[in-house]
Amino acid sequence: MTSSTAQPWIDLDVPASELRLDPTLTCGQAFRWKVTGNSEWTCALWDHVIDLKQTQSSVQYRVLGQLPAARANVEDVLRDYFQLHIKFDALCDVWAQTDPDFAQLRKTHAGVRTLRQPVVETLLVFIASSNNNIKRITMLADKLCQHYGQSIATEKGIFHTFPTLQRLNEDPDIEGTLSQLGFGYRAKYYAKTVNMLCSSHEDPEVFLLGLRTAPLDTARAELLKLSGVGPKVADCVCLMALDKSDAVPVDTHIWQVAQRRYVGRVLDPKEGPEMLKLLSQDHRDKAVALARQLRASKTPTTKTYEAAQQLFIHLFGDFAGWAQGLLFSGDLGQEPKKKSNPAPSKRKTTQSLPPVNERKMRLRSSVKD
């Protein structure tokens, strides 16, 4: 076990309108940050135990501890992790041209950012997310780290790093170990995925990181080869770890958001043309066709999940995944008047989604430094 002394607080100098820790770290993206004080969050991120503090005007950080070999610049790591080069306010300006409700969402849910997380952690944690809840996903992630990760002692307690794929592969009976730790049927998914990646690639993490430069459909197809990875998990990994900002993870909730917020408006004779005014005629026609497909569906299916995903991409372009994340977090408090349609009892989790219609976002240069 490594023991360290806490360093002084350093200000990231990022306004609250661009980053708020509470909604960003609790909206189902990250599962290992712990509340350790008043507006303070702590996590073993890569080789450091990092403490974050939300102030009225900014976010501060400090290093509570680190492994002996740790060399990364922590501020650079955090700026990359929170993708602070992308301007949240500028994105909301663009989205509001399509959906004026984003003008209100930017006020009520300011600073809800999509994270750029470690790829191995994102993949393995989201394999545990299917048919699960945040509390249990967090518990399983903690058990994985406690059993296989490296421990770092700090003034706030002991924290564990996320294990590498090579470390997991050293366990000759990883399925049995994870079964004992409470992973249930998911234990075999981990065993197969770890074995597949480690036997096929000299450095499996380098292979996964290489998917950051691959097209979305290519990255998704590679992830779908892995055990326990269906379309939603693949899209979560693409969005939150592989730089695919237009990846839109779709579940029953997001399908309902598409139905409730956009289908009727896109098809409305007056509101539709205004909502679609920035799209090319081809994309307008496709958005209308997708809305009609969704309106004709009474219950969510694999095809209508995909239609909802494509509708978000047509409406919000290159950062459709970020827009979906903000809607998921806020949704303006709107709830369906009737009981939600049940999810289908069976879904082919290995089916590839259709190719993404690539559309460069308007004013893309305005959202990056």
Q: Which residues are catalytic?
A: 232
Sequence-distant (≥ 6) Cβ neighbours of residue 67 within 8 angstroms: 2, 47, 48, 150, 152, 161
Question: Can you tell me the distance from the alpha carbon of 217 to that of 246, in angstroms, rounded to the nearest whole number?
Answer: 11
> What amino acid occupies position 192?
K
The count of residues in the chain is: 369
Do residues 69 and 103 touch, judged by C-beta distance below 8 A? no
Question: Can you tell me the distance from the alpha carbon of 369 to that of 93, in angstroms, rounded to the nearest whole number?
Answer: 16
| Long-range CB contacts (within 8 A, 24+) of 346-353 | 347/230, 347/302, 348/230, 348/302, 349/130, 349/229, 349/230, 349/231, 350/224, 350/230, 351/230, 351/231, 351/302, 352/217, 352/220, 352/221, 352/224, 352/231, 353/217, 353/220, 353/231, 353/235, 353/306, 353/309
**Two tokens, residue 99:** 């959906």
